[in-house]
Amino acid sequence: MKTAFDPRHRKREKLVQQLFTASFRNKVPAKFKSSDHLIAAAAPEWPLEKLNAIDLAILRLAMWELTVDKKAPLKVIIDEAVELAKQFGGSASPGFVNGVLGTICKSLPPSSSS
């Protein structure tokens, strides 16, 4: 059972905070921006520059985990992203993050989303 002291969760918290901060300095590492086109396609009514910065940071981390890191199962990545959205985002953030990631996962090749 995940707790607030889970080292993997704490690492994700720190990464989201770093991505959030970097977004205001236009210094988000390219490896986290590489899936922005997928995020934009999954939420066409929300251009990236209009997204809540914390939601975008959470989505970027989740996309990096899904498409590059690939160490955690899809369900774990989505669950962690939703938990981070509950922790850091607004009231609509968990549902938004879940919906965007769900849409993206449907379009990923089976080996990327298992």
> How much of the chain, in percent, has pLDDT values that exceed 90?
82
3-state secondary structure of 12: helix
82's CB contacts (< 8 A; 6+ apart) are 94, 97, 98
C-alpha span between 19 and 50 (Å, rounded): 16
Would you list the domain boundaries of the chain? 7-105
C-alpha span between 12 and 2 (Å, rounded): 13
The pTM (predicted TM-score) of the whole model is: 0.90
* Topology (CATH level 3) of domain 7-105: N-utilizing Substance Protein B Homolog; Chain A (1.10.940)
Q: Write b or e for each residue in 25-56: b if 16 or more Cβ atoms lie within 10 A of its Cβ, otherwise e.
A: eeebeeebbebeebbeebbeebeeeebbebbb
How many helices (H) does the chain have, and how many strands (E)? Answer: 6, 0
pLDDT of residue 2: 60
Per-residue pLDDT tens digits for 49-72:
999 999 999 999 999 999 999 999
